[in-house]
Amino acid sequence: MLEPLARSSRLVWWAFAASGALALVAAAVVAVAVFPAARVAGIWELASGVLILVAILRGAGLRASLPFFAPVAAGILLGVAALVLPEEDERIALIGVGIWSVLAGAGHLTVARVARAYRVPDGGLYQVAWASIGVGVVATTLPAFTLGASALAVSAGLAAAGVVTILAAQRLRVLPSEPPPVLSKREQRRRERTGQG
């Protein structure tokens, strides 16, 4: 199970990196109030879902890419809803960003847990996945306390989602397919003396 999942992760990393970069651009656009925050967040969610779907269909494989289907579905559904519905409330836009971030983080967490089960170093993907979930929880919780009703809150949510998505993409890009070789204590000492390990 690890090998196809690691291969899939290495094939979809660019889509997550592009999604994170687009989130940072969207955050800047929302911050300067060029377009309504709900529309910009919707365009980002839709673009993110489509990018990841394209990466899956280009060779990652449907079965091996199951952890990444939640952000695909959420991105496409939330994006279409934000573009079709006349609602332009910033709180709804912030909730949409939060939902996408939680689902993307859950997918990354699944990959990290499988890697840990096979004793493969995940490069910090586990921590980044929890950070993504945390960003999503904060973004979806703020509107409940009448916070987040401004374009700046949506901009901050997009920026935070963008940063953790880029960090996760970098970890997915280098996820190994197999655990490192187990060295004998003698070989470990030899490598330490020669500076190889």
**So what's the pLDDT on residue 60?**
59
- One-letter amino acid for residue 39 of the chain: R
Place 184 in a pLDDT band, splitting at 50, 70 and 90: low
Which tokens in the block code for residue 139?
């973004």
Whether the CB-CB separation of 125 and 171 falls below 8 Å is answered with yes
Which among 121, 100, 4, 98 is positioned nearest to 56, based on CA atoms?
4
pTM to 2 decimals? 0.85
| CB within 8 Å of 152: residues ≥ 6 apart | 30, 31
DSSP helix/strand/coil, 56: helix
Residue with tokens 């197999």: 178
What does R_g of the chain's alpha carbons equal in angstroms? 19
DSSP helix/strand/coil, 197: coil
Q: What does the CA dihedral 13, 14, 15, 18 come to, rounded to 10 degrees?
A: 130
Which among 48, 39, 67, 22 is positioned nearest to 151, based on CA atoms?
39
DSSP helix/strand/coil, 149: coil
**So what's the pLDDT on residue 146?**
77
Which among 2, 92, 4, 113 is positioned nearest to 42, based on CA atoms?
92
At 35-86, the pLDDT tens digits run 888 899 999 999 999 998 888 888 756 777 788 888 889 889 988 988 888 7
**So what's the pLDDT on residue 1?**
59
